[in-house]
Amino acid sequence: MLINSKVKTNIHYVLSNSSIDEAITLLEQNKFSKGINAIIFLLHKPVGLGQSENVLSYHDPRLQHFFQLVDHNNYDFKIGFDSCSIPAILNFTSNLSKDFIDTFNAIIATGGNIDWGLVSHPYPVPLTWAAYWTGGAYYKNLVKHNVATAYMTMENIEVMTDYMCSPQLLAPNGEVRSILLIEVGYTTTQGDDYACAAMVLGYQQAANNQHIDGMIMSGQTDHPVELAQGLAFGLSNVDGSHKGTYECFKQLDGPNAQAYIQNALALRGVSDLGQVVYPR
């Protein structure tokens, strides 16, 4: 009725264990209603009337297939996501992030430049593996130090800030726009030492990049739903007891920072920060 009345129509679609198969079918067969303006996909959350058993697992192959459909196909309608989908977008797509920045900037520029900023969730690839340098060749090949990279992580965050230095992307005052890393997490499922090492190296990347204004860790305390997916991002356990990452976080720029840096370098298999950090 709305479409027939020429009302711009957006559909909000909740992705869950019980709905993702239908979403995949609708995308594969292009069966969403003709004439809609956009579909905004929202991840089901275990709050309010939401149920934990209906939360999609990161390991669910249907989730990756869904995001690949969005990433590699063209549709007659726009597609949007809520902020909780960002980690999945970063880990399961290769075309969305850069294209989004370019398109967003072009639209803004048509009406006059404004002082917008950029936020990012540069998790490691995959999310379930903090010690990215020990991962398989497949994952290592997804993270490159140039704009052809499939994923943006703390390991290659300089690619993003370099791109934001492009003349067409500068703020109205001619400076690089504000860049905030508002969610970064390293799971402790391989052990606290590896998560600490990844956190230290990630922090050093941010601290040595003049274009990054801030870096926020993703969680203070583990969450049971995330733990079931192999994601233990908290600095504390579910019961509130501190992990090794808690003290590591406190010492990122504290009096014992050098000890943590040396331990991180040893686990990383290098002797100097200059081998793994790219100052800007």
Query: 8 with 115, same domain?
Result: no
Query: 17 with 156, same domain?
Result: no
Query: 62 with 198, same domain?
Result: no
Query: 140 with 50, same domain?
Result: no
Instruction: Determine the structural domain holding residue 52 and report its residue range.
Output: 1-93
Domains: count for the chain: 2
Query: 16 with 143, same domain?
Result: no
Helix/strand/coil (H/E/C) assignment for every residue in 87-101: HHHHHHCCCHHHHHH
Query: 104 with 177, same domain?
Result: yes
Query: 185 with 277, same domain?
Result: yes
Query: 140 with 245, same domain?
Result: yes
Report phi then psi at 183, rounded to 5.
Answer: -155, 110
Query: 113 with 151, same domain?
Result: yes
Among candidate residues 68, 93, 118, the one where a domain is terminated: 93
Q: How many CB atoms lie within 10 A of CB 54?
A: 15
**pLDDT single digits (tens) 221-263:** 998 888 887 889 999 999 999 999 999 999 999 999 999 999 9
pTM over 0.95: no
**pLDDT single digits (tens) 140-159:** 888 889 988 878 899 999 99
